[in-house]
């Protein structure tokens, strides 16, 4: 069982992307990580990419949404877009504001406020588009073969599965059954 008491964030946090000095930190809640890893084995790869890719794409898109675009690479408030880029961005976001303003949520008996939700709507749209782009570009047969023939890295899914299946702490934390793809037991490899 995972001990959630020592966590910095609430255990219900799926993922946050927060600026830490000059870098970023991506935080995943372990139960969701377990689900995503199981999805790799139990479902179509498109679903696996959709599940995690949209979330990661969403969070990274925040760096270029109506709020994130105002901060520089170090996380300081320092608008770095040209005036022309800002004007074009504002013009293009009017479409999305209007689109979401037209959605009516019966449960609340209210229309969505497209301006208030703009940053999240941009991130949702961007995340979906990026996940789709990655999926379409990454797994064409010819690029997969090229990865095997000349690539220095194993294919992405095997980089994750390979390392995690050799990591005893992971197996214990997620109660992975012995002699499964995520718990190789005595067959696990360890150099250090």
Domains and CATH numbers, the chain: 15-138 (3.40.390.10)
Confidence of residue 42 (pLDDT cuts 50, 70, 90): low
Which residues are part of the catalytic machinery?
A: 59, 124
Query: Residue range 30-39: average pLDDT?
Result: 52
10-14, 28-32, 122-126, 137-141: which is most confident? 122-126
Please state, in angstroms and rounded to a whole number, the distance separating the CA atoms of residues 59 and 131: 12
Helical axes 156-165 vs 30-42, angle rounded to 10° = 120
Q: What distance in Å separates the CA atoms of residue 63 and residue 83, rounded to the nearest whole number? A: 18
Q: Are 51 and 135 in contact (CB under 8 A)?
A: no
pTM of the predicted model as reported, rounded to 2 decimal places: 0.57
In this prediction, residue 100 has a pLDDT band, given cuts at 50, 70 and 90, of very high
In 3D, which of 54, 74, 72 has the Cα closest to residue 64? 72
Q: What is the predicted pLDDT for the residue at 11?
A: 36
Is the model's pLDDT at 31 over the cut of 60?
Answer: no
In this prediction, residue 121 carries a pLDDT of 93
CA dist 16 and 27 (Å) reads: 6
- Hey, which bits of 79-123 come out as E strands? 104-105, 110-111
Predicted pLDDT at 3: 47
pLDDT tier at 101, thresholds 50, 70, 90: very high
């Amino acid at each position: 069982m995972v001990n959630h008491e020592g966590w910095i964030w609430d255990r219900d946090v799926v993922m946050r992307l927060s600026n830490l000095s000059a870098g970023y930190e991506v935080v995943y809640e372990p139960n969701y990580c377990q689900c995503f890893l199981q999805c790799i084995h139990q479902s179509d790869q498109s679903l696996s990419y959709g599940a995690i890719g949209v979330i990661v794409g969403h969070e990274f898109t925040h760096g270029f949404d109506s709020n994130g675009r105002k901060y520089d690479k170090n996380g300081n408030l320092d608008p770095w877009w040209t005036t022309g880029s800002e004007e074009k961005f504002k013009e293009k976001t009017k479409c999305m504001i209007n689109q979401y303003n037209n959605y009516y949520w019966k449960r609340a008996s209210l229309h969505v406020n497209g301006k208030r939700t703009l940053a999240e709507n941009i991130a949702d749209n961007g995340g979906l588009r990026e996940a789709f782009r990655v999926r379409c570009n990454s797994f064409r047969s010819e690029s997969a073969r090229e990865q095997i023939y000349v690539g220095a890295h194993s294919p992405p899914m095997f980089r994750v599965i390979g390392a995690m299946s050799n990591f005893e702490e992971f197996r214990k934390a997620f109660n992975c059954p012995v002699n499964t793809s995520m718990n190789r037991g005595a067959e696990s490899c360890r150099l250090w």
